[in-house]
Amino acid sequence: MSDTVETDVVIIGAGPVGLFAVFELGLLDLKCHLIDILDRPGGQCAELYPEKPIYDIPGLPEVSGQELTDNLMKQIAPFSPQFHFSQMVTGLERNADGSFGIVTDEGTRFCARAVVIAAGGGSFQPKRPPIPGIEAYEGSSVFYSVRRIDAFRDEDVIIVGGGDSALDWTLSLEKVARSVTLVHRRAEFRAAPDSVKRMWALHEEGRVAFRMGQVTALDGVDGQVSSVAVKTADGEESLAATRVLPFFGLTMKLGPVANWGLNLDQNLIGVDTEKFETSEPGIFAVGDINTYPGKLKLILSGFHEVALMSQAAKRIIHPDQKVVFQYTTSSSALQKKLKAA
Amino acid sequence: MFINVTDQQGRRHRLEALEGFRVMEVIRDWGLDIKAECGGACACATCHVHVGGDWQDRLHAPLDEEIDRLDEAFDVRDNSRLSCQLLMSEELDGLEVRLAPGTERDRRDAA
């Protein structure tokens, strides 16, 4: 993990705009590594609306978020982009030679000549329930994911939520925990029907408890939960608990981007409209995360932005080379890069 | 026509609304603090409101998709709706809603 990845460009965010940046940069012979906190490409298209139709992509009268992602992955394949998923960029700084050092929360290090921030609304992170004082328990007895099953062995676990994460972990942790209680606001679940069936079967056997209600308070000391208050139709009930796992889906947070010394305007990064460069030369921002007069948060705007950004990035990385503007339709050189010729 | 929106701090706002706009869009375009991060696709539950008075009975019933999505909201009650699923029309003139917990925009409270 200590080896540093050397590349022309690091792209932060693998949503549609980050993916298309690979294409435009690739036509100019620039190699890209992409980093995304999600475990797959597509960004909001993958996480928020994979099945929803999008109607305003030029040339595609109707396309789903997943189809658009799949098509972009196909389109950029000739440029062999390297992906680093399930990681969040935590550090970005300029090296003495003008290049950029980038490090993720997994400890992966990069050295790049230019950085493209295509982070959309920020990084997708678990939703935090608005329970007073919950922050004090996070990481010690309240968790938003299961990294080590052993951390739940012989514990009294409360799992909150009604989707696949809640159901899957109810089924898995039941085997090791001292007790598992599933708390959900209704008796219907959005999870895979088979998981729901298995959960009810365990409930029948008395191995999994279920409460229809919502968690309203946590009690404990020194970051260690001892009980949770659950509001049900019959009133409020206190349940003994040593571990709590809330699963309410993901939400976008700006995260570490705020700490990189860039000019921010209401959580957006200010850029010029010629190069889409930030207040730091060599760091570009494209797509939903940038702002400029007249900005529209549309995927097609992001596509336009990466085309212009790429020209500017090329001049920074290879100041000695002349940038020749060419069309993929007529340039045999570009077609060769696309392996289309 | 107007809608009345109580924000997360308990302040009540009377907002002019246009026919055909989603209630979420009216709240957002008047600058109130609403995350509404999926932009109205019923995909995020961050435009969750509690409907006031007897308005709940006067709204069209939620689709299964909206009921399912409310599973990712907080403090869900019998009068909970996603405001992106409510389309403004003359019948909704005077609608009362309160922004539910968890609808605030990100305030750099890096989790």
Ordered by where they begin, the domains of chain B are: 2-99 (3.10.20.30)
Looking at the structure, do residues A143 and A195 belong to the same domain, yes or no?
A: yes
Q: How far is A72 from chain B (nearest CA, A)?
A: 21
Comparing CA positions, the residue from B103, B97, B84, B102 lying closest to residue B42 is B84
Alpha-carbon distances, residue B108 vs A43, A210, A264, A314, B105 (angstroms): 20, 35, 12, 33, 9
If you count residue pairs, one on A and one on B, with CB atoms under 8 Å apart, how many are there?
Answer: 68
CA distance A82 to A53: 28
Q: How far is B88 from chain A (nearest CA, A)?
A: 22
Looking at the structure, do residues A179 and A39 belong to the same domain, yes or no?
A: no
What is the distance of C-alpha B31 from the center of its chain? Answer: 13
* Assigned token pair, A94: 């300029």
Average pLDDT, chain A: 95
Angle at which helices A65-76 and A16-27 pack, to 10 degrees?
Answer: 20
Q: Residue holding tokens 């957002």?
A: B28
> Residue A105: pLDDT band by 50, 70, 90 thresholds?
very high
CA distance A281 to A262: 10
* Assigned token pair, B81: 């709706």
Q: Which residues of B touch A248 (CB under 8 A)?
A: 71-74
Answer yes or no: do B72 and A48 touch at CB < 8 A.
no
Interfacial residues of A (vs B; Cβ cutoff 8 Å): 44, 48-49, 52, 121-122, 125-130, 138, 161-163, 184-186, 190, 214, 248-249, 251-256, 258, 267
> Residue A341: pLDDT band by 50, 70, 90 thresholds?
very low
pLDDT in tens, chain B (111 residues): 999 999 999 999 999 999 999 999 999 999 999 999 999 999 999 999 999 989 999 999 999 999 999 999 999 999 999 999 999 999 999 999 999 999 999 765 433
Which residues is B97 bridged to in the sheet? B5, B51
In sign, the C-alpha dihedral spanning A15, A16, A21, A27 is: positive
DSSP character for B72? G
pLDDT at position A58 over 70: yes
Looking at the structure, do residues A196 and A292 belong to the same domain, yes or no?
A: no
Q: Which residues of A touch B70 (CB under 8 A)?
A: 185
Q: In the predicted model, what is the mean pLDDT of residues A97-109? A: 96
Q: How far is A180 from chain B (nearest CA, A)?
A: 20
Answer yes or no: do B102 and A130 touch at CB < 8 A.
yes
Looking at the structure, do residues A227 and A262 belong to the same domain, yes or no?
A: no
CATH number of A230's domain: 3.50.50.60
Answer yes or no: do B44 and A129 touch at CB < 8 A.
no
Looking at the structure, do residues A119 and A132 belong to the same domain, yes or no?
A: no
Mutation for testing the A interface, residue in B72, B78, B84, B109 having most A CBs under 10 Å: B72
CA distance A11 to A32: 7
DSSP H helical segments within chain A, as ranges?
Answer: 16-27, 44-47, 65-76, 164-173, 193-204, 299-317, 332-337
Looking at the structure, do residues A146 and A106 belong to the same domain, yes or no?
A: no
Using an 8 Å Cβ cutoff, are A20 and A41 in contact? Answer: no
pLDDT, tens digit, 9 for 90 and up, residues A3-46: 899 999 999 999 999 999 999 999 999 999 999 999 999 999 99
Using an 8 Å Cβ cutoff, are B56 and B78 in contact? Answer: yes
Looking at the structure, do residues A149 and A107 belong to the same domain, yes or no?
A: no
pLDDT for A340? 64
Answer yes or no: do A267 and B73 touch at CB < 8 A.
no
Looking at the structure, do residues A118 and A260 belong to the same domain, yes or no?
A: yes
Q: Which residues of B touch A184 (CB under 8 A)?
A: 71
Q: Which residues contact A226 (CB under 8 A, 6 or more apart)?
A: A219, A220, A240, A241, A242
The domain boundary, picked from A248, A269, A300, lies at: A248
Give the type of residue at A300: L
Residue of A nearest to B105 (CA): A253
Range of the domain at A227: 128-248
The domain boundary, picked from A248, A279, A298, lies at: A248
Q: How many CB atoms lie within 10 A of CB B108?
A: 13
> Residue A323: pLDDT band by 50, 70, 90 thresholds?
confident
Look up the ipTM and state it. Answer: 0.91
pLDDT for A104? 97
B75 in contact with A, Cβ within 8 Å? yes
The domain boundary, picked from A219, A248, A277, lies at: A248
Looking at the structure, do residues A90 and A173 belong to the same domain, yes or no?
A: no
* Assigned token pair, A275: 């190069």
DSSP character for A150? G
Looking at the structure, do residues A241 and A266 belong to the same domain, yes or no?
A: no
Strands A82-84 and A32-35 turn out to be parallel
Looking at the structure, do residues A56 and A145 belong to the same domain, yes or no?
A: no
Q: Which residues of B touch A256 (CB under 8 A)?
A: 110
Give the type of residue at A195: S
Nearest CB partner across the interface for A253, out of B72, B102, B110: B110
Work out how many domains chain A is built from and give that number. Answer: 2
Looking at the structure, do residues A227 and A132 belong to the same domain, yes or no?
A: yes
